[in-house]
Amino acid sequence: MSNVVTVSLGARSYPIVIEAGVLARTADHLAPLARGRTMAIVTDENVTPHLATLQAALSGAGVASEAIVLPPGETTKSWTHLAGLCDRLLELGVERGDHVVALGGGVIGDLVGFACAILKRGCGFVQVPTTLLAQVDSSVGGKTAINTRAGKNLIGAFHQPALVLIDPSVLDTLPPRELRAGYAEVVKYGLIDDAAFFAWCEAHGPALLAGDAEARHYAIGHAVAAKARIVAADEHETNGTRALLNLGHTFGHALEAEAGFSQALIHGEGVAAGCALAFGFSAAQGLCSAEDAARVAAHFRHVGLPDGLAAAGIAASGARLVDHMRHDKKMAAGTLPFLLARGIGRTYLDKTVDLADVAAFLDAQPQPR
């Protein structure tokens, strides 16, 4: 199984190759980008088995590579690691025409992408995502960033990769909890504008999470095609299309913030609970049917993802959670746009939401026991 999805951005267009085992055949794709020079590969400590596969494939094809292995975890997306990485890439003599390889999850992808956006005013890079979240979301679209004291992803740049290489079989080593969290972002695409894909998730999500290769391949291809379409329509998030990808994220970030952005609630878990809450709120506002909202919550529950405040373990007042939302970077000119739904696959951006209604809705939710 192999397929290629193109992100159409004129001169900055690039292919996304989805193919089980492609890591071992990666030289076919990377040798032309290396042009006989040494390739820098950046990864984290948990991904080193796949680094070995990648480096063996490159050296087998006569491509020299140099690995930079960073500590795993969100804290690696920092000024300190950015500075260290840029210095190291400069020491290696990386030039503008070179392509740095980001091998890892969204943390490595975001950090390396940003380093490459600013290194010599922009050098090339390739995304080789190794988590489900990175394969279906963060590796595509060119958003790069680090975290600072003021919040997550507040310093960054749009910088598109030259190529995205997705090997679904690397997910075999991913902890099940990380796989499930990434799956929430897969379901999100169905909820946004594709009710048939949500129905596919209901039927095949459990098989995907149990390791079914065909289900995994289909879901990644479908998700990536959706993301490519959205990015091509709104590369810099200016016309509202790309904002749809934030479905469940305003509620979700509030829960993540309440959990202190800790392992108590990882991003995809916040997104699952956040999507369920966005549909619950839409139903409470009379925008979508209670049946649709219940169906969304039921699917997340069924695959072991949180379906609301109680399952996410969040005990906080509506006012406190809304306060977290107010600090969201999507806040513009004092109003907070919300992604609401008129039904499954019918998400839209609503700029008229009254935060008092949101707080009252959250206060009415069951609390964790």
Ligand X SMILES: NC(=O)c1ccc[n+]([C@@H]2O[C@H](COP(=O)([O-])OP(=O)(O)OC[C@H]3O[C@@H](n4cnc5c(N)ncnc54)[C@H](O)[C@@H]3O)[C@@H](O)[C@H]2O)c1
Catalytic residue numbers, as ranges: 121, 143, 185, 227, 237, 242, 246, 249, 253, 267
Q: Which of 100, 105, 222, 307 binds ligand X (CB under 6 A)?
A: 105
Q: Closest CB to ligand X among 19 and 44?
A: 44
Q: Which of 9, 56, 74, 204 binds ligand X (CB under 6 A)?
A: 74
Rank residues 26 and 283 by Cβ distance to ligand X and give the closer one: 26
Q: Which residues of 243-282 are buried (b: 16+ CB within 10 A; e: fewer)?
A: bbbbbbbbbbbbbbbbbebeeebbbbbbbbbbbbbbbbbb
Residue type, 29: H
Cβ at position 235, least distance to ligand X in Å: 12
User: Residue 19 to residues 170, 175, 228, 264: CA-CA distances in angstroms?
Assistant: 11, 21, 17, 33
- Pick the closest to residue 292 from 347, 251, 246 (CA basis): 347
CB of 283 to ligand X, least distance (A): 26
Closer to ligand X by Cβ: residue 55 or 131 = 131
Do residues 159 and 144 touch, judged by C-beta distance below 8 A? yes
Q: Which stretch binds ligand X (CB under 6 A): 107-115, 209-217, 300-308, 317-325?
A: 107-115
Q: Give the residue, chosen from 5, 134, 136, 293, that forms a contact with ligand X under the rule CB under 6 A.
A: 134
Among 107, 223, 231, 340, the residue binding ligand X under the rule CB under 6 A is 107
Task: Tell whether residue 235 is a contact of ligand X (CB under 6 A).
Answer: no
Dihedral of CA 51/23/201/226: which sign?
positive
Using CB under 6 A as the binding rule, whether residue 243 contacts ligand X is answered as no
Binding window for ligand X (CB under 6 A); candidates: 92-100, 171-179, 231-239, 305-313: 171-179
Partnered with residue 225 across adjacent β-strands are: none
CA nearest to 6, candidates 186, 167, 161, 217: 161
- Whose tokens are 């039927």? That residue is 203
**Are the C-beta atoms of residues 224 and 186 closer than 8 Å to each other?**
no
- Footprint on residues 310-369 left by ligand X (CB under 6 A): none
The stretch near ligand X (CB under 6 A) out of 27-35, 106-114, 249-257, 277-285 is 106-114
In contact, 287 and 339? CB cutoff 8 Å: no
Check residue 253 for interaction with ligand X (CB under 6 A): no
- In degrees and rounded to multiples of 5, residue 315 shows phi and psi of -110, 100
Binding ligand X by CB under 6 A: which of 110, 193, 258, 292? 110
Q: String of b and e for 87-110 (b: at least 16 CB within 10 Å)?
A: ebbeeeebeeebbbbbbbbbbbbb
- Please report whether residue 170 would count as binding ligand X according to CB under 6 A: yes
Give the Cα separation of 306 and 292 in Å (integer).
17
CB atoms within 10 A of CB 305: 26
Q: Is 306 in the site for ligand X (CB under 6 A)?
A: no
71 vs 368, which CB is nearer to ligand X?
71
Rounded distance between C-alpha atoms, residue 123 and residue 261, angstroms:
31
| The only residue of 41, 57, 77, 288 in contact with ligand X, by rule CB under 6 A | 77
Quick one: 164 or 362, whose CB is closer to ligand X? Answer: 164
267 sits near ligand X (criterion: CB under 6 A): yes
Beta carbon nearer to ligand X, 130 or 359: 130
User: Which of 173, 263, 317, 367 lies at the binding interface for ligand X (CB under 6 A)?
Assistant: 173
Site for ligand X contains 151 (CB under 6 A): no
Q: Does 161 sit near ligand X (CB under 6 A)?
A: no
- In the list 16, 17, 27, 44, the residue contacting ligand X (rule: CB under 6 A) is 44
Q: Shortest Cβ distance from residue 41 to ligand X (Å)?
A: 14
- Residue 191 and residue 188: Cα distance in Å, rounded? 5
Placement of tokens 């695959």 in the chain: 303
Chain contacts with ligand X (rule: CB under 6 A): 44, 46-47, 50, 72, 74, 77, 104-108, 110, 130-131, 133-134, 137-138, 141, 143, 152-153, 170, 173-174, 178, 267
